[in-house]
Every structure is written in C-alpha cells, then in structure tokens.
Amino acid sequence: MQVLTSMPAHLLYPICPDILLKSIIMRTLNQIPAWLRNKYFIALAAFAVIILFLDKNDFFTARERNKELRELEQSKIHYTNEINELTKIKEGLTQDPKTIEKYARENYLMKRDNEDLYVIPEKPVNPKN
C-alpha cells in the first residue's frame, strides 16, 4: 500500500534537525566541483588573494613602484648628461679666454666698446590682427 502525498520526505519522517542540516550541507557541497573543494586549490587561491590584494607590497603597488623606478632612472640619465655638458662648459670657461668671451656675448649680451649689439629674437612675437 503506497501513500502518495505532496509533502516533503523530511516532514513525513521526523528526523533530528542536526542530521537534516548535515544532509543539506552535504548536498550543497556535492554540487561544487571536486577541483574547487581540493585543499591545495583553496590554499593556493587564498595565497594568491593575499599576495595580489591584501599585502603591503601587493601586485599593483609593485607595478607602480617599478614604473616610478624607470622614470627616476631616466631622469638620472638626463641629469647625468646635463652635468657632463655643464662640466665641459666649465672647463672651457676656466681655461680658454675666447670661450669666456663667447659665453659672455651669448648669455649676458656683453659687447666690446667699438661694437653695436642687435638682438634678434628666434621666435617672432605673435602680432594681434
């Protein structure tokens, strides 16, 4: 004799709530793929999250620091070249009187007593039309 009813099985047969809860949890866990339940995968995923997002030296901060380091190295090269050029000019100014005269004429607009000096700008000023 079979009784057909629309009530769920856990209501027909009284079961301890702990057993019912465990069966629900087990059913839910069985729906998760096995490779996601693997303890090594969980440990690796937790490690990756910590390294990528939560650490003081996380991935994104490291990228920003590397970018800043490259910019600083480029500016170091630029300033080193500029220092070398200025050192050459300084050596020329301390040793050669013609270089001193040339530097004074170009940068300080100095002239001899019997000369007239005309300054011509390199870029003309934009006239208003």
Using the 8-state DSSP alphabet, how is residue 52 labeled?
A: I
Determine the average pLDDT of the residues in 33-41. 88
Tokens representing residue 36 in the block: 């996601």
The answer to whether position 96 is within a domain reads yes
The answer to whether the CB of 111 falls within 8 A of the CB of 105 is yes
pTM greater than 0.85 (yes/no) = no
Nearest to 99 by CA among 111, 109, 91: 91
The answer to whether position 90 is within a domain reads yes
Tell me which of 36 and 18 has the higher pLDDT. Answer: 36
The answer to whether position 91 is within a domain reads yes
The answer to whether position 22 is within a domain reads no
Tell me which of 117 and 69 has the higher pLDDT. Answer: 69
The answer to whether position 124 is within a domain reads no
How confident is the model over 47-92, as pLDDT tens digits? 999 988 898 888 999 999 999 999 999 999 999 999 999 999 899 8
Long-range CB pairs of 11-18 (<8 Å, 24+ gap) are: none
- Show the domain range for 68: 58-111
The answer to whether position 16 is within a domain reads no
Please tell me the total count of domains within the chain. Answer: 1
**pLDDT band per the 50, 70, 90 thresholds, residue 129:** low
Query: Could you tell me which residues come within 8 angstroms of residue 105 by beta carbon, excluding any fewer than 6 positions away?
Result: 111
